[in-house]
Structure 1
Amino acid sequence: MDRIFIVEDDPTITAAMLQEFHKWQYIAQTVTSWDHVIDEIQNFNPDIVLMDITLPTFDGFYWTNQLRQLSKVPIIFISAAEMDPNAVRAIAAGADDYIVKPFSLNVLVSKIQAVIRRTKQAAKPMETLTFEDYQLTILTNELKHGDVSVKLTPTEGTILKLLFLNAGKLVTKKQLMQTIWQGGLFIEESVLTVNMSRLRDKLAQVNLRNRLVTERGHGYRLVAADEL
Structure 2
Amino acid sequence: MAKIFIVEDNPDIIHSTTQELNKWQHDVITVNNWQNIANEILATNPDLVLFDITLPTFDGFYWIQEVRKHSQVPIIVISAAEIDTNVMHAVAAGADDYIMKPFAMTVLLAKIQALLRRNKQTADAEEIMWDHNSFNPLTNILTNENGTAQLTPTEGSMLQVLLSHRNKTVSKEQLLQWLWQGGKYLNENTLNVNISRLRTKLSTIGLRQCIHTERGLGYRLVENNE
TM-score by length of 1: 0.93
Q: Are 2:158 and 1:191 equivalent residues in the alignment?
A: no
Q: Give the SS at the match of 1:16.
A: helix
Q: Provide Cα deviations, 1:107-165, integer angstroms capped at 9, x if missing partner.
A: 000001111111122222x3222232222222222212225221111111111111111
Root mean square deviation, CA, Å: 1.6
Describe how 1:42-121 pairs up with structure 2 within 5 A: 42-121=42-121
Please give the alpha-carbon distance, in whole angstroms, between the structure 1 residues aligned to 2:87 and 2:118: 20
- Shift in Å, 1:47: 0.6
Asked whether 1:210 is paired with 2:209, we answer yes
Distance in 2 between residues matched to 1:148 and 1:53, nearest whole Å: 34
CA contact (8 A) 1:131 1:167 kept: no
Q: Which residue of 2 is the match for residue 8 of structure 1?
A: 8
Between the two proteins, the alignment pairs up a number of residues equal to 226
Q: Percent identity?
A: 51
- CA shift in 2, pair 1:146/1:58, >3 Å: same
| Unaligned ranges ≥5, structure 2 | none
* Cα displacement (A) at 1:23: 1.1
Write the letter of the residue equivalent to 2:115: V
Deviations 1:160-204 (A, max 9, x none): 111111111011111111111123221121111111000000111
- Cα-to-partner distance string for 1:15-37 (whole Å, 9 max, x where unaligned): 11011111111111222321222
1:138-177 matches, cutoff 5 A:
138-177=137-176
List structure 1 segments (4+ residues) > 6 angstroms apart after TM superposition: none
Mark the CA change 1:135 to 1:40 in structure 2 (over 3 Å): closer, same or farther: closer
Q: Check the 8 A contact 2:131/2:224 in 1, yes or no.
A: no
Who is 2:34 aligned against? 34
Provide, for residues 28-80 of structure 1, a one-character-per-residue CA deviation record: whole Å limited to 9, x for no partner.
12223212222322333211110000011111011111111121111110000
Equivalent-residue separation in structure 2 for 1:44 and 1:128 (angstroms) = 27
User: Do structure 1's residue 130 and structure 2's residue 160 form an aligned pair?
Assistant: no
Q: Secondary structure at the match of 1:217?
A: coil
CA separation of 1:191 and 1:131: change in aligned 2, threshold 3 A:
same
Code of the aligned partner of 1:181: W
Q: CA deviation at 1:84?
A: 2.0
Q: TM-score, normalised by structure 2?
A: 0.94
- 1:180 matched to 2:198: no
How far apart are 1:85 and its partner, in Å? 2.4
CA distance in 2, matches of 1:10, 1:220: 40
The Cα of 1:216 is off from its aligned counterpart by 2.1
